């Protein structure tokens, strides 16, 4: 139980950051379609591919589209290491779209010891390049996720997660480092056949911006996980 208390403290601190003087609010919609599978002896290898279109400005504008994939290997029970790549397109009305390329390393861990439900962690370290600059930014992301069955273990589950982002260096397209953003999700995981699921709910996103002015996006989130 001590590990759960520690994670709760971390999540509370992340949700409280930053203390912004002014906050701009917006309504968004995020869709995520992910295909996952395994390969190799005893299925120790893993892979995933996903597409994520995101709407902002009160659902009136495509803010970005993310294409992301990775291959990984299970090094211990519940512990998988990944190497991946993502391409992000950010449409610019009346101008040239901004592109971003990322390579990333990921550690996915299902934390043992719970009598019921599942506690997991995803740690991701990114190297980022954008078309409107020349520098590479290093960014870390840490997500803690908890799901709990509302009835049968293979039925609908309550789901919550919190993910914090931290930039290690200032670059020409983002001239500051430190806290980047925090995302908090509350919703449900719904089985749709086999091990595939749909996750639906509310995702709150707080983004740091220059001048101590934060942006808070209130996002309707729908994710489909098709597991082969």
CB 71 within 8 Å of CB 84: yes
Give the per-residue pLDDT at 211: 73
Quote the CA–CA distance of 90 and 52 in Å, as a whole number: 12
Give the per-residue pLDDT at 209: 84
- Find the distance separating the first CA and the last CA of the chain, reported in whole Å: 34
Low-confidence ranges of the chain (pLDDT < 50): 1-2, 9, 13, 18-20
Determine whether 75 is exposed, middle or buried from the number of CB atoms within 10 Å of its CB (0-12, 13-18, 19+): exposed
Handedness of CA 112, 48, 34, 207 (dihedral sign): positive
Helix-then-strand count for the chain, H and E: 1, 11
Domains of the chain (ranges; CATH) run 2-227 (2.40.160)
DSSP state of 152: S
Give the per-residue pLDDT at 213: 81
Give the per-residue pLDDT at 1: 47
Give the per-residue pLDDT at 76: 96
Give the per-residue pLDDT at 4: 53
Quote the CA–CA distance of 67 and 87 in Å, as a whole number: 5
Task: Kindly list the distances between the CA atom of residue 154 and the CA atoms of 113, 116, 161, 192, 222, in Å, as whole numbers in the listed order.
Answer: 19, 12, 20, 11, 20
Give the per-residue pLDDT at 5: 53
* CA-derived radius of gyration, the chain: 18
pLDDT in tens, 12-63: 545 555 444 589 999 999 999 999 999 998 899 999 999 999 999 999 999 9
């Amino acid at each position: 139980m001590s590990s759960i208390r520690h994670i709760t403290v971390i999540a509370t601190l992340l949700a409280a950051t930053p203390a912004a003087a002014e906050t701009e609010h917006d309504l968004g919609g995020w869709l995520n379609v992910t295909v996952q599978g395994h390969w190799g002896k005893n299925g120790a290898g893993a892979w995933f591919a996903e597409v994520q279109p995101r709407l902002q400005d009160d659902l009136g504008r495509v803010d970005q589209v993310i294409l992301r994939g990775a291959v990984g290997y299970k090094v211990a029970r519940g512990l998988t290491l990944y190497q991946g790549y993502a391409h992000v397109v950010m449409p610019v009305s009346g101008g040239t779209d901004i592109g971003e390329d990322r390579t990333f390393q990921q550690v996915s861990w299902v934390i043992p010891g719970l009598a019921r439900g599942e506690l997991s962690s995803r740690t991701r370290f990114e190297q980022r390049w954008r078309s409107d600059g020349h520098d590479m930014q290093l960014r870390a992301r840490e997500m803690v996720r908890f799901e709990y069955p509302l009835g049968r273990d293979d039925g609908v589950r309550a789901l919550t997660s919190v993910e914090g982002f931290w930039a290690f260096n200032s670059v020409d397209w983002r001239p500051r480092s430190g806290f980047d953003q925090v995302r908090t999700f509350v919703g449900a995981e719904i089985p749709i056949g086999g091990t595939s699921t749909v996750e639906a709910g509310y995702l709150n996103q707080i983004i740091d911006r220059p001048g101590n002015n934060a942006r808070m996006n209130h996002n309707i989130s729908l994710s489909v996980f098709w597991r082969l």
